[in-house]
Amino acid sequence: MSLLQLDHIVMACADLDQGADWLARRLGVTLSPGGRHAGFGTHNRLLQLCGGTYLELIAPDPSQGQVTRPRPFGLDQYCPKDPQLLHFVARCRDLDAVLPQLFYSPGPARTMTRDALRWKIATAADGRLAAGGVCPTLIEWPPGVHPCDQLPHQGIRLEALQVTADAGTAQSLAALFDDRRCRFVAAGQAWLGVELQTPLGRVFFNGPEAAASGA
């Protein structure tokens, strides 16, 4: 039985408003408001991708000033001007129970909040991504709570997430997931790619630079 389900894909940019406008032009829809991650120095906007999955556009939040902890998803090391596919997040029912069963270390579990939402997430203390971003961050939502429940359907659907990694990593990741949209491919360079169906047709994003910089 698989331990993980695809929760959301992460795109990052330097300025949230500018990045949301850039994505709206590429996708033909407007992203929904997200909120502030208090104490983590970031804020976001969201987009429904169907199938219990969403897109998160995340950026540094200037309203929080100087933060005392590293920003999540390696944003202190890599934060592009235009939105860049950066990472993906997997959910599980019991984060504390799943962590010892993994072949990699995503970091310790901690509590994170955004406005009224509260969840548990496993991230590295320095904010860097495991294995250059090809191994997912893990998240546990409270029972009956998920951002997709509040996001409108706008005709956007995730067709595929391709994760390219070394043979051992690709095989181990495939054993953790049971999702036809997730493709784990053995190759030399760590790489992520996403295919979306949108009102403007098929749209592709990839993030080899982001994966390399987050190693």
| 52-73 pLDDT tens trace | 999 999 999 999 988 888 898 9
| 68 Cβ contact list (under 8 Å, min separation 6) | 39
Tell me how far CA of residue 95 lies from CA of 99, 139, 146, in angstroms.
6, 7, 15
Domains, the chain, ordered by start: 5-152+207-213 (3.10.180.10)
Instruction: Write down the pTM of the prediction.
Output: 0.92
* Calpha distance 80→74 (Å, rounded): 12
Amino acid letter for position 122: A
Confidence grade of residue 162 (pLDDT, cut at 50, 70, 90): very high
More confident residue, 211 or 75: 75
**Any idea what DSSP says for residue 23?**
H
- Average pLDDT value for residue range 27-47: 94
pLDDT at 28: 97
Q: Is there a contact between 121 and 34 (Cβ–Cβ < 8 Å)? A: no
Average pLDDT over the chain, rounded to whole?
A: 91
User: Which of 210, 195, 182, 191 is CA-nearest to residue 84?
Assistant: 210
